[in-house]
Amino acid sequence: METAPTVGQAGAWRSGGRTSAPSAGRVFALLCPKPLAYTPRKRYNARVRVGHHGRIEIGHEGSARLRLCMEGGGLGRETAGARAEIEATSWLPTEGEEPIQASASCHSDLRSASVKRSLRRRLDRMRADYEGVVGRPFSYFYCPILFRDENSAICKAHIINQAFCDESDAWTIQRSDIDSFYGSYFESDFVAIEYHERCWDPLHILRDRCLARLFAPRLVLDGEDVEYYFHRGECLPPGVSWVALDEEGTRAIVVKMPPERFARVQRHEIGIDKDARVASFVSLVKAAHLSLFELLGYRYVFSPSGRFVGRDVLGEFYIQNSGGNNPRAKIEVLKRAETFFGEFQHMVRPVDSISVDTKGTVSDGVCLLCGAPKGRPWGLVVFIGILGRMHAVLVPNITDAESVSIFLSFLSNERDTIEGAWGRFDLARHEFGCGGNSITLNWPKTGTLWPDRVC
């Protein structure tokens, strides 16, 4: 047995600086924070049994949880009973079912010349794959998340967000509305883990308007939160202070504090509190679903496992929260996601270390078959590589009522180990094969895993 390194993504960063004296009736202050100090949380060590193919160690903290300028409080342990009842039968469109027609005013015709050549080739290949499974081709594009064949705009959807420029370039076709919904509400926040990887300081974020919108930094003066806004060259109202963010004064903020009071401030701090646990969970589950869709095609989509992850989880959340022509506010959607996905929170974990050479399941087919080699696998651990770190997503392998029971029970009980074996996608046979070497995987279920829950 070996002990995993105590590496996590939760921690606290804090910085501060001094102001200069007021000048020419306004305050010019260059915020120069000290280097960031990273304080990792106390972590329980995950243990695994080393197998022939190597070992994997699963992290204790929730994926992509960033805490700056404050330590997070206790988080929840309560896990609701699994909401989705999964039938261990395949789901296919009925023979006489016609594709649902969407409004022509908001969608493009997939047969138009505007569809790119590469998109066309991929679409033709998907249509042939769909016909091989269902017995007839789809009319437009059969979405693996909504389970609909509609005349809807499509796009080239990267399985791993392209903001992580060093990751897999694997892509598939997706409906533009689905891709935009999950990209804007969740994946944009998940990109926040790049902050930790690049070790940006809070001042760098404050100087960059895009990052500032993403992280919403707080300005703390002598321990008090003070409102501010970015200066765009307009005349300043009375009772505010102009603060430069660089030597040239090309980037500046306007602090809602009188200059004479601002001049007496002893400590300037830029605070960032970004919790990306829910965003990372949703983004990783979607990436795992699209990874299996890319490898297995519609055979996976129409399996009970594909319907559960695709339609019953991701698709149902989209239907309930997309808002149609009246999109919901992002903060409202994220709050709804905490409740909706809460019972599935144990499907995703960060990987602290893995000795198997893999860039992620979609790149090289490496996975972990839960329950193998002793019995029929009841689950599949899909690996998602992002910025040199690996994340694990547990998806069900529903073959009968027992596999459903094992998977749902694992999500809700206190069991924190998985017996399994390494597997790899066999391109010739178009399926995952088992390596036959047993491994015991610790899958921690205690700690800071989900907002407002103590586990």
Whether 53 maps to a domain, the answer reads yes
The model's confidence at residue 202, banded by pLDDT at 50, 70 and 90, is confident
Residues 6+ apart with CB under 8 A from 420: 368, 369, 370, 371, 372, 377, 379, 381, 438, 439, 441
CB 181 within 8 A of CB 328: no
34 and 180 together in one domain: no
The pLDDT value recorded for residue 26 is: 28
DSSP string of 340-351, one letter each residue = HHGGGGGGEEEE
pLDDT of residue 377 exceeding 70, the answer is: yes
417 versus 193: which is more confidently predicted? 417
Q: What is the pLDDT of residues 115-151, one digit of tens each?
A: 578 888 999 999 999 999 999 999 999 999 999 999 9
pLDDT, residue 163, reads: 60
Q: Is residue 9 part of a domain?
A: no
The dihedrals phi and psi of 187, each to the nearest 5 degrees, come to -65, -30
- Specify whether 157 is located in the same domain as 253: no
What is the number of domains present in the chain?
Answer: 2
Q: Lowest-pLDDT range, 186-195, 246-255, 290-299, 319-328?
A: 186-195
Nearest to 66 by CA among 41, 33, 32: 41
Region 308-328 average pLDDT: 90
With a CB cutoff of 8 Å and minimum separation 6, the contacts of 233 are none
Q: Which residue blocks in 142-275 are alpha helix, DSSP H? A: 176-182, 188-190, 193-198, 202-207, 209-215, 259-262
Q: Are residues 286 and 240 in the same domain?
A: no
Q: Which amino acid is at 335?
A: K
Is the domain of 100 the same as that of 202?
no
Tell me what pLDDT residue 415 has: 92
Question: Is 90 exceeded by the pLDDT of residue 374?
Answer: no
Same domain? 168 vs 214: no
* Residues 320 and 429 placed together within one structural domain of the fold: yes
pTM for the model:
0.74
pLDDT of residue 353: 82
Longest alpha-carbon distance in the chain? 79
Q: CA 111, CA 260: separation in Å to the nearest integer? A: 66
Token pair belonging to 330: 């992002």
Q: How far is CA 339 from CA 74, 79, 310, 451, in A?
A: 17, 10, 18, 10
**Is the pLDDT assigned to residue 188 strictly greater than 70?**
yes
% of the chain beyond a pLDDT of 90: 37
Across 266-270, 276-280, 288-292, 385-389, which has the greatest mean pLDDT?
Answer: 288-292
Calculate the CA 323 to chain-centre distance: 21
Say if 398 falls within a structural domain: yes
Mean pLDDT, to the nearest integer, of 310-331?
A: 89
Residue 32's domain comprises: 17-43+197-271
Give 361's contacts (C-beta < 8 A, 6+ positions apart).
Answer: 288, 291, 292, 295, 367, 382, 383, 384, 425
397/394 Cα distance (integer angstroms): 10
Average pLDDT of the residues in 93-110: 43
356 within some domain: yes
Domain-located, residue 1: no
Distance CA 157, CA 122 (A): 12
How far apart CA 35 and CA 16 sit, in angstroms, is 9
243, 271, 299: which is the final residue of a domain? 271
The mean per-residue pLDDT over the stretch 282-296 comes to: 95
Residue where a domain stops, chosen among 224, 250, 271: 271
Is the pLDDT score of 345 beyond 70?
yes
pLDDT level of residue 437 (50, 70, 90 thresholds): confident
Query: Of the ranges 183-187, 222-226, 339-343, 424-428, which one carries the lowest mean pLDDT score?
Result: 424-428
Whether 432 and 306 map to the same domain: the answer is yes
Measuring CA to CA, which residue among 216, 301, 250, 264 is closest to residue 27?
Answer: 264
Residue 455 has pLDDT above 70, yes or no: no
pLDDT of residue 195: 57
Same-domain check for residues 215 and 171 = no
Highest mean pLDDT among 4-13, 43-52, 379-388: 379-388
137 vs 356, more confident: 137
Categorize the per-residue pLDDT at 92 as very low, low, confident or very high, splitting at 50, 70 and 90. Answer: low
**320-334, 400-414, 437-451 — most confident range:** 400-414
Q: What is the reported pLDDT for 197?
A: 56
- Distance, in Å, from the CA atom of 318 to the CA atom of 142, rounded to the nearest integer, reads 16
CB 170 within 8 A of CB 181: no
Is residue 453 one of the residues assigned to a domain?
A: no
pLDDT at 73 > cutoff 50 = no
For the segment 187-193, the average pLDDT, to the nearest whole number, is 74
Sign of CA dihedral 213, 219, 33, 15: negative
The answer as to whether 452 is a domain residue is: no
pLDDT at 397 over 70: yes
Better-scored residue on pLDDT, 9 or 173 = 173
Helix 330-341 and helix 277-296, axial crossing angle in degrees, nearest 10 = 70
Sequence-separated (6 or more) residues with CB below 8 Å from residue 148: 99, 100, 142
Segment 200-229 mean pLDDT: 83
Q: Give the H/E segment covering residue 393.
A: strand 389-396
pLDDT beyond 60 at 244? yes
Q: Measured in Å, how far apart are the chain's first and last C-alpha atoms?
A: 25
Q: With DSSP H G I counted as helix, E B as strand and the rest as coil, what are the percentages for the chain, rounded to 5?
A: 30, 25, 50
Answer yes or no: is pLDDT of 100 > 80.
no
In a domain, 448, yes or no: no
Residues 396 and 374 in one domain: yes
What is the spatial distance between Cα 438 and Cα 329, in angstroms, rounded to a whole number?
A: 47
**Residue with the larger pLDDT of the pair 234 and 37:** 234
Q: Are residues 284 and 413 in the same domain?
A: yes
Per-position b or e across 162-172, b if 16+ CB within 10 A of its CB: ebbeebbebbb
**Which tops the pLDDT comparison, 30 or 297?**
297
Do 147 and 291 belong together in one domain? yes
Strand partners, 26: 23
For 256-268, write each residue's pLDDT tens digit. 999 999 989 988 8
Do residue 251 and residue 379 come from a single domain?
Answer: no
pLDDT of residue 59: 55
Boundary of a domain, candidates 271, 286, 319: 271
